[in-house]
Amino acid sequence: MKKIINYLKGARRELSKVTWPSRKESTKLTIAVVVFTLVFVLFTTVIDYGLDQVFDKVILN
């Protein structure tokens, strides 16, 4: 039991040393991730559609 308590105390000490981002920085980074994800999804969708069309032409003709 003492090991668990020591572990939790150490974890709490380490967490107090962390430099957490500000709300503004967190918001900017979240927006960046969402935009990147949307662009990646759009890119993947266009590639998938294009390949689907190409393979349909090759296989069906």
| Total number of domains in the chain | 1
Q: In terms of residue numbers, what domain contains 35?
A: 1-60
List, for residues 4-59, the tens digit of each pLDDT value: 999 999 999 999 999 999 999 999 999 999 999 999 999 999 999 999 999 999 98
In the prediction, which pLDDT does 60 show?
83
What is the pTM (predicted TM-score) of this model? 0.65
CA dihedral of 47, 49, 50, 54, whole degrees rounded to 10: 130
Tokens found for residue 10: 């150490």
- With 80 as the cut, is the pLDDT of residue 61 above it? no
Using alpha carbons, list the distances in angstroms from residue 38 to 7, 32, 33, 43.
40, 10, 9, 9
Tell me how far the alpha carbon of residue 30 is from its chain's centroid: 9
Q: Give the integer Cα–Cα distance in Å for 38 and 45.
A: 10
